[in-house]
A and B are shown apart, each in its own frame.
Chain A
Amino acid sequence: MYVATKGGERAIDAAHDWLAEERRGDPAVPELTIAQIREQMRLAVNRVMAEGSLYDPDLAALAIKQARGDLIEAIFLVRAYRTTLPRFGSSHPVETCDMAITRRISATFKDVPGGQVLGPTFDYTHRLLDFKLMADGEAPTAARKPADPEPAPHILALLDRDGLMEPLAHDGATPRDLTREPLELPADRPLRLQALTRGDEGFLLSLAYSTQRGYGRTHAFVGELRIGTCAVEMEIPELGFAVEIGEIELTECETVNQFTGSKTEPPQFTRGYGLVMGQSERKAISMSLVERALRWEELGEENTGAPAQDTEFVLYHSDNIQATGFLEHIKLPHYVDFQSELELIRKLRRAVAPERLEAAE
């Protein structure tokens, strides 16, 4: 059976015009520029880049403006845009040990080579609203101090040197890419990391929190959290050598987790890993906790049935664009589907004896 599918065009056009007007808000208030969003809403821009899975601060800022600050809508816009770009190739893996550091802390060792660098953090702020920001003020300036060129090696590498850390596989294989082929299980560790790094921050935060509360507990310490910029290098086929094509800001979290050993492995520390585009500390820590919980099988740990240990559950529900696409589609016209439901209910009711219907009323 067909129902009318025409007739909405004018209403849709008018709705979009109103949307555009609402987006702009009160015309007496100056319009936001892309540069203002990029510079002053930088953490929102970072989230849109990370979950949109495209590092381009200007585009992310534009998406935030167009989406009226709805970050998932902005991520949707970025994801749609990236499908229009031809893929030039893959970079070499970024070397986070060479990161130019803006923040670097460890919860496991106090004294580390390179030191504990707090960087521009919300930690230790009192979380009191600062009403001075409601007034136009002078641009604040950061303190400076002569920098010593002391290198800051990965802190877990220190444990590695003593053989207390699990060794990392390093087979030089080309990692699977879920933007090129559908995400299929079983998912190896590289594929899980790709899904998690573009996954929804809120979903990963809740899952990570659930592991802390006992649902798939992994006893995580933040071995190191570092934020800074890394060079991206790529092989250029027409030149026959690699060049740096740019620099990106990254947040990396490595957790140290207890591991009592298995039949084949001695007791040692294991690691959970988080690497996220931009300054995205909460997401990077969440990612490393969830990542570690998902490793129960390869480490021979007990499956307690916790959500964070369920690879299928985690990976198939972490993508907020897939989730919102499926969720929001149910508000679109389902007239025909519902018509058949209505028919069915009427038919069932006809089959029921009249006195039972009366009793129910």
Chain B
Amino acid sequence: MSTQMTKTNDRQARMGLLARAEPARLAALMPDLPPHDWLRAPETGAVMVQGRVGATGGAFNLGEMSVTRCALRLKSGAVGHAYVQGRDRDHAARAAAIDALMQGPSAERIEADILSPLRRDEAGHRRVRAEKAAATKVEFFTMVRGED
């Protein structure tokens, strides 16, 4: 059970990473798709994003975002799914192919050649943003007035 949960957690994390990846960067890391059959050809649609009333209360509808999804099957029979932000069909196709490949013998290679670089890129971007924010953090100081 717990191995299954870890597997699911890993897959969730991976699919999130692929969804957040820059499409051009992903294309550079994975120029060609492996042979596959579409279970669901890439299609673009909308997802209604919800917010919380007062930040922590019940849900309300904030507005939609564009999302592209697809599902494919590799020759090995492995099935991959993708839901990625935006309207880039190739982005969704690559994400689904990687999702499928990660279930087979090439997982280690995909991890090293594609997922690790994406993770490093993302960590780098986040650090840069956090550092810029940190530079604008106000450091209050109190002026001491009077003798005592």
Contacts and interface: CB of A to CB of B under 8 A. Distances in A.
Interface of A: 49-50, 53-56, 58-59, 82, 85-97, 100-103, 110-111, 115-120, 142-148, 154, 156-157, 168-179, 189-191, 193-194, 197-198, 231-232, 234, 236, 238-239, 241-248, 252, 254, 271, 273, 275, 277
A254 B55 contact: yes
B130 interface: yes
Contact residues of A: prevailing secondary structure? mixed
Given A86-B45, A190-B58, A197-B62, A96 B20 contact: no
Nearest to B57: A168
A86 B79 CA distance: 23
Interface of B: 8, 12, 15-16, 19-20, 43-67, 69, 71, 81, 83-87, 126-138, 140
B19 A246 contact: yes
Contacts, number: 227
A329 to B, nearest CB: 26
Contacts of A90: 47-50, 61
Given A56-B87, A93-B50, A144-B128, A241 B8 contact: yes
Nearest to A174: B59
Contacts of B12: 241-244
A111 B128 CA distance: 24
A88 B47 CA distance: 5
B134 A194 contact: no
Contacts of A169: 53, 57-58
A144 B128 CA distance: 8
Nearest to B131: A144
B60 A115 contact: no
Given A144-B132, A194-B62, A246-B86, A273 B49 contact: no
A236 B60 contact: no
Most buried by A among B43, B66, B86: B66
A93 to B, nearest CB: 4
B140 A111 contact: yes
B146 to A, nearest CB: 21
B50 A175 contact: yes
A94 B15 contact: no
A91 B48 contact: yes
Nearest to B79: A238
9 contacts: A54-B65, A56-B87, A154-B56, A236-B81, A243-B19, A246-B19, A246-B85, A271-B54, A273-B55
A86 B43 contact: yes
Q: Top 4 nearest A-B pairs by Cβ distance?
A: A246-B85, A244-B16, A168-B57, A190-B60
A232 B137 contact: no
B54 A273 contact: yes
Given A89-B47, A232-B85, A189 B60 contact: yes
Contact of B135 (A86, A95, A144, A198): A144
